[in-house]
Structure 1
Amino acid sequence: MSFRLAAYGVCLVGGRVLLGRYVGVGGSWWTLPGGGVEEGEDPFDAVVREVAEETGLSGVVERLLGVDSRVIPASEAVRGEMHQNVGVFYEVRITGGVLRPEPNGDTAESVWTPLTEVPSLERSGLVDVGIRLALERPATGHVPGVPVGGLVRH
């Protein structure tokens, strides 16, 4: 089984969430800014780096929201092998910058999306988890997993 530790930024302002359109193996869908934590890197630092790399915006971590762990069966995984993704979700406040595509990366565009429009988007389940953590702020830092299917992907 492959394993990935990732950090994701949940940026909410005025009823909108910052999403990036991922384009890569398996197609295109919307996701939260974030990604893999590099060897020796703190997830706290990784989320700030990832937000800047993917969106062109600078931000600061306001708080830890929670952690999500999901195992993706080999039959549904991009690389065809069982995969576990552990995501650390942070509330990130944007402090500057200009939205732009990720240079030489997989994020084709980033946009501020009204929360009311999110259910109609093809998106990663991480979007739903992150938004729920940000809005509900559970003391445990955990929300139930999001069923995959329809517009929701791994």
Structure 2
Amino acid sequence: MGGTRRGSFRLAAYAVCVEDGRVLLIRHASGDWSLPGGEVEHAEDPFHAVVREFAEETGCDAVVERLLGVDSRVIPAAEARRGVEHQNVGVFYQVRIAGGALRPEPGGATVEPVRTPIPEVAHLRRSSLVDVGLALARDLPASGHVAAVPVGDLIRH
């Protein structure tokens, strides 16, 4: 059963909120853009985590419309924050806003939520999670899986 665990692991849930050709992105204090979402807490269902994280990071209430898919990425130790190989498994949901008003995360790392025209995303310094989420929402693959997004230039881990 299993083996020696090397590195770190994180389960996260992300919201893909597309309306009128715009996707809701959040800008972190680092300046990078991402999708609203984050770590699934111990004993928490990813479905509930995405709603919680969306509210925390955007100030808005989300209604989950569908499961889009799952992405698994391994960040090499040399590029990972903690200096050890890191695996992030992300569960992506299509959501719509059901109320609230966009605002930065109080006391958090999210400094700005913005509805961004999809063609403009290509010009932003962003997490590869954005590209994965948009591909899942666009293609709706029956497998719930899309090809890995190469990092480099404007696309980060």
Count how many residue pairs are aligned between Structure 1 and Structure 2: 151
Structure 1 CA distance for aligned equivalents of residues 118 and 31 of structure 2: 20
* Aligned twin of 2:4: none
Q: Equivalent residue of 2:122, what SS?
A: helix
Structure 2 CA distance for aligned equivalents of residues 79 and 114 of structure 1: 33
Q: Equivalent residue of 1:120, what SS?
A: coil
* Aligned twin of 1:38: 41
Task: Tell me which structure has the larger Cα radius of gyration.
Answer: 2
5 Å matches for 1:10-21?
Answer: 10-21=16-27
Structure 2 CA distance for aligned equivalents of residues 139 and 122 of structure 1: 29
* Bigger strand share: 1
Q: Percent identity?
A: 68
* Aligned twin of 2:138: 135
- Out of 93, 114, 117, the residue aligned to residue 117 of structure 2 is 114
Residue identity opposite 1:125 in structure 2 = S
TM-score, normalised by the number of residues in structure 1:
0.97
- Out of 62, 65, 68, the residue aligned to residue 65 of structure 2 is 62
**CA deviation profile, 1:33-84 (whole Å, cap 9, x unmatched):** 0000000000000000000000001011000000000000000111111000
Instruction: Establish whether residue 99 from structure 1 lines up as the match of residue 99 from structure 2.
Output: no
5 Å matches for 1:78-89?
Answer: 78-89=81-92
Residue identity opposite 1:7 in structure 2 = A
Residue identity opposite 1:9 in structure 2 = A
Structure 1 CA distance for aligned equivalents of residues 88 and 102 of structure 2: 27
Unaligned runs of at least 5 residues, structure 2: 1-6
Unaligned runs of at least 5 residues, structure 1: none
Q: Equivalent residue of 2:63, what SS?
A: strand
Structure 2 CA distance for aligned equivalents of residues 44 and 153 of structure 1: 25
Superposed displacement of residue 28, structure 1 = 2.1
**CA deviation profile, 1:84-113 (whole Å, cap 9, x unmatched):** 000000000111110000011110010000
Q: What stretches of structure 1 move > 2 A for 4+ residues in a row? A: none
Structure 1 CA distance for aligned equivalents of residues 84 and 28 of structure 2: 21
Structure 2 CA distance for aligned equivalents of residues 57 and 132 of structure 1: 24
Q: Equivalent residue of 1:28, what SS?
A: coil
